Structure 1
């Protein structure tokens, strides 16, 4: 074997030494920050996310310097990630909400629910604020002001749901799936995914661009993802990691803009049919597009010794789509813990069962066959205001019921050794010699949004969808 030139060895030693110095510098910064405990210092996100409740005030999260925002995108001056905000809204905030609600074009508000389960969590009866959560864009002074997941409840998968600014007519919600392969490098994948979702939630909640003096511009999902991603990259406490991401922003006219990167994804459901669905972005089988943070040491080692390159896309690589929702339409986001075990038709069947049992959808038979109909007035009656004191109402809140039902069925399917879902079918198509049988256990995160249009409380509305 030829000897390695002395110059190359010296170069390798220098690069590795430099990476160690950078790591030491980061560690020193952490110690200095903890000692100073300044109000404007970056909050230790890893320890915070490990112990925080599933829905946190923005004041408990990161407070990021304006220079980082300008560096992320000079066009997003009104995107201020996680600026300090009280857990309950001020009078000024409430007045702002009322002013935004009076827009002539704003007809839609949104009811939201989320559910999650860690890979190692057993199948169990769902419990409020442990396995599922409820949120309404019409809630005045919600406390906490938005939903977001924690590692304890969702494992490496994360979710968020919030209004945009103080508007009851604008919401942002989505999911992120931490890339488990980072565990081989001693990195907790959940730090990246939960940090990203927490940042997106706080950024959307404090967005000021909807105000009339700013021209009324809504936040865009890919911009939201970019600002949060840049903040994660700039946070020394998130050392490394990666995740997929799928999210949307919906407005008062029923416009839903989605951004999808990787193999998490979404469905839009109308009575009896899948109206729209996302396509997974993959490099190869089981190799999704992903956002990544690669530490200097790993970059240096790859530059010197080569080997497989860590995948790293950017928010610009996300697929962006535009959809128009109608009264009662359901927008569902989920990580691949759902899509590996349930098809779109499986999810539609789960949703249909609940919608019919609770009187939101029903079937009508005529000479053309069976049709699914929407009970428009029943949809309009979904609670506009939620209170912890009304626990029964929270437990029966429709979006939360749907989210937990999909989560639970995906969990059951993933543990079933004889039920072949989409993942098993794809393995057997590409690698028939493997003989894969059954589901794929995984972390799961689901968020559901239901569009509610003003003035639609006047009876049943037929939807031409054969069953």
Structure 2
């Protein structure tokens, strides 16, 4: 009789265990960004637009708009966006600074695609790429600002490394959540990575990649991430950028998001040639007590725009 009772209890226990297993399995399979069970890691829907001061040097295919260069990278672990702005002063020496910016973004893109890169240390991309360029027998000469943002897909956290006066913004629910700080030595003299002929070493700024400003920011589904060169930020006030992009909050259709990037570039171009508009660049000139007639600042413009998205069940 006791053995019979023990058998019945054992059977009921097994049944309860099976029920719990079935229930827990269902919960795990239905979880999304919680980090439990079947994951649906976030990703970035990305678009780019730009305009060169000299229309002859403008090619999205070559990831270049004038002296600006950019890249996108997407792996199972990380999403990365980068932009670089070649310092135009080199043109006075017959050197195309856009080549240095393009070389820098080329190597950053290569290192971002490595299997072990998870987006947590974009500064490492700058350090390694700078070393790669300087280590060549005949390196590309020039200098450039650089701004990298990377999304760790597992925890939906964005990490950044910004050197100079390019930068990024994060917009949530139509409001500015975060904006990077520009780094300048003086008016219109940004921090920059540089490779120069030895005889001119004392005449230019040569900053180390480790000087880049770094940040960490948790993101949410629907957040907008804007990355751009100073051709945008010097001509379009922050409030106008946020207002323009608020209508694209949460947009995940690439064609629609592209309209947002296009509108910013068109706006920056129009304001850059306005002799009357009190641009952010004109306000900086006043702050530094510089002789600037006012209006906008003609420049190359590059805009990278992305929405944080989460995969959906088919």
For the aligned pair, the TM-score class normalised by the smaller chain equals 0.7 to 0.9
Which residue number in structure 2 is paired with residue 121 of structure 1? 55
Which residue number in structure 1 is paired with residue 149 of structure 2? 248
Q: Is the 8 A contact 1:258 1:322 kept in 2?
A: yes
**1:311 correspondence with 2:201:** no
Aligned residues: 278
**1:188 correspondence with 2:96:** yes
TM-aligned CA distance change 1:218 to 1:175, over 3 Å: closer
Aligned partner of 1:173 among 81, 84, 98: 81
Which residue number in structure 2 is paired with residue 266 of structure 1? 168
Which residue number in structure 2 is paired with residue 112 of structure 1? 46
- Larger CA Rg, structure 1 vs 2: 2
In the TM superposition, residue 352 of structure 1 has moved relative to its aligned partner by: 2.1
Q: Is the 8 A contact 1:178 1:189 kept in 2?
A: yes
Give me the TM-score of the superposition, normalised by structure 1: 0.55
Which residue number in structure 2 is paired with residue 155 of structure 1? 66
Which residue number in structure 1 is paired with residue 285 of structure 2? 427
In the TM superposition, residue 435 of structure 1 has moved relative to its aligned partner by: 5.1
TM-aligned CA distance change 1:452 to 1:310, over 3 Å: same
Q: Is the 8 A contact 1:331 1:448 kept in 2?
A: yes
Q: d(CA) in 2 for partners of 1:435 and 1:291?
A: 27
Q: d(CA) in 1 for partners of 2:104 and 2:229?
A: 14
In the TM superposition, residue 242 of structure 1 has moved relative to its aligned partner by: 0.2
Q: Is the 8 A contact 2:164 2:182 kept in 1?
A: yes
Q: d(CA) in 1 for partners of 2:265 and 2:137?
A: 33
Question: SS in structure 2 opposite 1:202?
Answer: helix
Mark the runs of 5 or more structure 1 residues left unpaired by the alignment.
1-101, 123-129, 133-146, 211-216, 303-308, 356-360, 362-373, 384-393, 458-467
**1:208 correspondence with 2:208:** no
Q: d(CA) in 2 for partners of 1:313 and 1:423?
A: 23
Q: d(CA) in 1 for partners of 2:279 and 2:137?
A: 39
Q: Is the 8 A contact 1:148 1:159 kept in 2?
A: no
Q: Is the 8 A contact 2:158 2:216 kept in 1?
A: yes
Q: Is the 8 A contact 1:182 1:241 kept in 2?
A: yes
Aligned partner of 1:231 among 111, 129, 132: 132
Give me the TM-score of the superposition, normalised by structure 2: 0.81
In the TM superposition, residue 280 of structure 1 has moved relative to its aligned partner by: 0.5
Question: SS in structure 2 opposite 1:232?
Answer: helix
Larger strand proportion, structure 1 or 2? 2
Q: Is the 8 A contact 1:209 1:218 kept in 2?
A: no
Deviations 1:219-257 (A, max 9, x none): 621001111111221234544100000111102221000
Q: d(CA) in 2 for partners of 1:444 and 1:238?
A: 26
Q: Is the 8 A contact 2:157 2:219 kept in 1?
A: yes
Q: Is the 8 A contact 2:48 2:303 kept in 1?
A: yes
Deviating beyond 6 angstroms after TM superposition, the runs of 4 or more aligned structure 1 residues are none
Q: d(CA) in 2 for partners of 1:456 and 1:197?
A: 35
Question: SS in structure 2 opposite 1:274?
Answer: strand
In the TM superposition, residue 329 of structure 1 has moved relative to its aligned partner by: 0.3
Mark the runs of 5 or more structure 2 residues left unpaired by the alignment.
1-35
Q: d(CA) in 2 for partners of 1:447 and 1:220?
A: 20
Which residue number in structure 1 is paired with residue 17 of structure 2? none
